[in-house]
A and B are shown apart, each in its own frame.
Chain A
Amino acid sequence: MLTFVARRLLATIPVLAIVAIFVFLMLRLTPGDPAAVIAGDYANSQQIAEIRAKLGLDEPLVTQFFIWAGRGLQGDFGESFFFKRTVAELILQRVEPTLALAVCTIVLAVLIAVPLGVIAAHRHGGWIDRIVMGFSVLGFSVPVFVVGYLLIYVFAIQLSWVPVQGYRSPVDGLGDFFQRIILPSCTLAVIYIALIARITRASVIEVLGEDYIRTARAKGLTERTVLMRHALRNAAVPIVTVIGIGIALLIGGVVVTESVYNIPGLGRLTVDAVLARDYPVIQAVILMFSFVYVLINLVIDLAYSFFDPRIRY
């Protein structure tokens, strides 16, 4: 097991190196000039050139890459072109809201989707199953921003139960935190509920046809025990996979929700950085996302052996 973990962690190094080169080149080859953005609309060519020189953007690409990579290896991802703050500081400021949103969304999605999927499988072909599947299709089809605005209109504007926007750290009070995180979490959870419920339903239906389920029922176990202990556990591997992928997608894919609810998270940091061509920030954030993806995949693989003892590393 330890060898497996060590091997997988080592494998992240070439992955991150390739991502680093790819991101660096992609950014430099994309049209746009951070110096022109910084200088403002009414700056002349000379002012832009002076800023470009100041940022080191007039150096050859190879030199720029090695300077950045060399510092990156020492854990220094430089300073934002705009904010005059280190990239690490900016990312640290933005990690908490995104992480909080991702965790709340996944918890909400799992708590709702897994039971829904199990019930739908249990009542396969019945009206509950059809409702769950109908909801899934809806959840996949309705864009996130539509769900977001709808929830804001009903719960924030019409009923005034929660604020329209903003984020408060749980450190400043759990009440305020939950008031502000609940709508974005529900908005984002819709699609994940749809996804996880469908996968759970399909996996459980498959398992329910197995001989050992018939045996469990024949032993006289209650339907709840059959479903929760025998069916769900054996159906867990694909469910865990989809939850894991969901977490990874969430970390990098919350841009729209963060914008609609004005949550200052990593998604917005990334979009702002891309629009302004803030190279150091984009590079560091994408590297971090890649690392998180690799890490989550590792955790999913390790979770398989927990749910299915036949899997050994």
Chain B
Amino acid sequence: MKLSRILAGAVAGTALGAAVLFTPTTGAQAQNTLRVVMHSDLKILDPIWTTAYIVRNHGYMIYDTLFSMDEKLDVKPQMVDKYEVSGDRLTYTFTLRDGLKFHDGNPVTTDDVIASLKRWGAKDSMGQKLLSFVKDFEKVDDKTFKLVLKEPYGLVLQSLGKPSSNVPFIMPKRVAETDPNTQISDFIGSGPFVFAKDEWRPGNKTVYTKFADYKPRSEPSSGLAGGKVVKVDRVEWLSMPDHQTAVNALIAGEIDFIEAPPHDLVPVLKAEKSVELVTWNPLGNQYTMRLNHLHKPFDNPKVRQAVTVALNQEDFLKAVVGDPDYYKVCKAMFICGTPLESTAGMDGLLESKFDVARKMLQEAGYDGTPIVLMHSTDLQVLTNLAPVAKSLMERAGFKVDMQSMDWQTLVARRAKKDPPTAGGWHAFLTSWVSADILNPVMAGFMNSACDKAMFGWPCDEQMEKIRDDFSRESDPAKQKALAEAAQKRAMEVVTHIHLGQWYLAGAARKGVVAGIPTAPAPVFWNVSKTGK
């Protein structure tokens, strides 16, 4: 009994001490510090070296671009003050705005711009295409340069205003001269925020401070274009791998914004009065199935076409997203709600006509070879896709061997050209950010240049010709006709199968955070924070 009393005393003493020590918390934080949780941790700092979206987002914080895309998907000057195109469409003359400065105080000059475009053009697919048309970059003076083409190219401004990975960010010349296959180690930009290198803790947090000398454009902000006015002193990206923890922290007021809470937590957030959901990227994303054209039976276009007849978009969207507020059945390859939206070539496809698909397989002589379908299990937005595909394909008469693995294993395996029985693959499902697939040149899966194409390696001269014609064309009506031709051809060749659009809302503290821009990438200029 005595011992119990001693113990009880000790417990009571500890509790009292704890009560004194732990004063109530109210999520205390600096008023002008915006604390956000991004979709992943920032590990790499070179937005040209990798196409990872988190690195692109980092790029938007600290770098600026010559052109940017606005909310209507029009390309608008950003660092550029004015530009002229010669009558023969071979020379573009660009003049930079006054007052552009790097974070180290040096002015931004055309030397920096030219070096940056060359490094970007060595890595990015649209940049490579642009540079293949470029005869020369000519420096006129520190603020003006000319881009001289070998022949007219219709996508010069679209390339320079490309909104997603890799974005042509402008870096100081000394940084941009780094070998494109080596990571940069100097993180000076001229964007609205400064990267606080000393405070960077990979796996914990990344800090940006306001760049006091940044001169925003005078136009109102629209998408990624217009005036980038910084309204907070500091932005902290906090790494939180556990989504539930991030949601709890938002509700408790410890963070201000979550870029991409998963769909299954949306009902919790909707019910929370202190939180509002913000659809910052109205273009959303597109689910896609990629087939490997190298191996039987998908070396036969008829068999590939049978897959497009067997599948339907809604089953995938329901299985993964669930809430119809966050998905859209859309047969347009180049995204619904954009200038190139079209249903050309889509009649009778993606409607799960199993009888038709079965007949097509018989006609194609499909011999029951099992389809090795790679199933990614660790990314919530992808996990349920492969089981749906397996079910629909089996109902159409395919034999499917679904193999489960983590995403990184899938990423490594999809690069292998080996036969599916020797460590290769037949099919997998993934998702594209819509801003990356707005036209046939941009969309990586449309590339049908055989060995030079992305994994899956479609090989089709006609498609490559359409893409080339599109890249030379600058008339919007003709571009639209070419995009429709590309879509029709894509469905004949089955470069890939688009499985519907889906959206992820961000979650912000209601009444505290305001002004989150509507754009293809999450950016934090024009965002203000009131209260704690």
Residues of A whose CB lies within 8 Å of any CB of B are 31-33, 36-45, 47-48, 50-51, 54, 80, 82-85, 90, 93-94, 111, 115, 118-119, 122, 128, 149, 152-153, 156-157, 159-166, 174-175, 178-179, 182, 222-224, 227, 259-262, 264, 268-269, 271-272, 275-277
Whether A119 lies near B4 (C-beta < 8 A) is yes
Whether B411 lies near A259 (C-beta < 8 A) is no
Whether B25 lies near A40 (C-beta < 8 A) is no
Give which listed residue, B18, B52, B251, B409, contacts A31 with CB less than 8 A.
B409
26 residue pairs of the A-B complex, CB under 8 angstroms, read: A33-B408, A36-B411, A36-B415, A41-B52, A41-B411, A42-B125, A43-B51, A44-B452, A82-B44, A83-B202, A84-B44, A111-B10, A119-B3, A119-B7, A156-B248, A161-B25, A162-B25, A163-B27, A165-B240, A174-B21, A175-B21, A178-B22, A179-B21, A262-B240, A268-B241, A276-B43
Whether B181 lies near A54 (C-beta < 8 A) is yes
Give which listed residue, B52, B202, B244, B452, contacts A90 with CB less than 8 A.
B202
Give which listed residue, B6, B49, B183, B245, contacts A164 with CB less than 8 A.
B245
A175: chain B residues at CB < 8 Å are 21-23
Answer whether A39 and B408 are a contact pair too, CB < 8 Å, given A163-B25, A178-B21: no
Closest B residue to A268 by beta carbon equals: B203
Residues of B whose CB lies within 8 Å of any CB of A are 2-4, 6-7, 10, 18, 21-27, 41, 43-45, 49-52, 55, 123, 125, 165, 181-183, 185, 201-204, 238-242, 244-245, 248-249, 251-252, 254, 378, 405-406, 408-409, 411-413, 415, 430, 436, 444, 452-455
Q: How far is the CA of A31 from the CA of B376 in the complex (A)?
A: 13
Whether A269 lies near B203 (C-beta < 8 A) is yes
Whether A166 lies near B3 (C-beta < 8 A) is no
Q: How far is the CA of A41 from the CA of B412 in the complex (A)?
A: 10
A48: chain B residues at CB < 8 Å are 415
Q: In angstroms, how far is the closest chain A Cβ from the Cβ of B529?
A: 19
Q: In angstroms, how far is the closest chain B Cβ from the Cβ of A27?
A: 12
Whether B245 lies near A84 (C-beta < 8 A) is no
Give which listed residue, A111, A152, A182, A275, contacts B248 with CB less than 8 A.
A152
Q: In angstroms, how far is the closest chain A Cβ from the Cβ of B436?
A: 7
Answer whether A54 and B182 are a contact pair too, CB < 8 Å, given A38-B44, A182-B18: yes
Closest B residue to A153 by beta carbon equals: B248
Closest A residue to B26 by beta carbon equals: A160
B415: chain A residues at CB < 8 Å are 33, 36, 45, 48
Closest B residue to A273 by beta carbon equals: B203
Closest B residue to A155 by beta carbon equals: B22
A37: chain B residues at CB < 8 Å are 408, 411
A85: chain B residues at CB < 8 Å are 202
A264: chain B residues at CB < 8 Å are 201, 203-204, 239
Q: How far is the CA of A35 from the CA of B201 in the complex (A)?
A: 22
B22: chain A residues at CB < 8 Å are 161-162, 175, 178-179, 182
Q: In angstroms, how far is the closest chain B Cβ from the Cβ of A274?
A: 9
Whether A32 lies near B408 (C-beta < 8 A) is yes
Closest A residue to B47 by beta carbon equals: A40
Whether A31 lies near B412 (C-beta < 8 A) is yes
Minimum-distance CB pairs A-B, first 4: A40-B51, A33-B412, A264-B204, A82-B43
B242: chain A residues at CB < 8 Å are 259-260, 262
Q: How far is the CA of A163 from the CA of B413 in the complex (A)?
A: 42
Closest B residue to A33 by beta carbon equals: B412
Q: In angstroms, how far is the closest chain A Cβ from the Cβ of B179?
A: 9
Answer whether A41 and B4 are a contact pair too, CB < 8 Å, given A36-B412, A82-B43, A275-B406: no
B41: chain A residues at CB < 8 Å are 272
Whether B406 lies near A84 (C-beta < 8 A) is no
Answer whether A42 and B202 are a contact pair too, CB < 8 Å, given A119-B7, A162-B25, A166-B254: no
Q: In angstroms, how far is the closest chain B Cβ from the Cβ of A302?
A: 29
Closest B residue to A90 by beta carbon equals: B202
Closest A residue to B252 by beta carbon equals: A164
Q: How far is the CA of A182 from the CA of B444 in the complex (A)?
A: 49
Q: How far is the CA of A182 from the CA of B26 in the complex (A)?
A: 17
Q: In angstroms, how far is the closest chain A Cβ from the Cβ of B172?
A: 18
Task: Given contact pairs A33-B411, A159-B24, enumerate 14 new A-B contacts (beta carbons under 8 Å).
Answer: A44-B125, A54-B181, A82-B43, A84-B44, A84-B185, A149-B244, A156-B248, A162-B25, A163-B252, A165-B245, A166-B254, A175-B22, A227-B3, A272-B41
B10: chain A residues at CB < 8 Å are 111, 115
B251: chain A residues at CB < 8 Å are 157
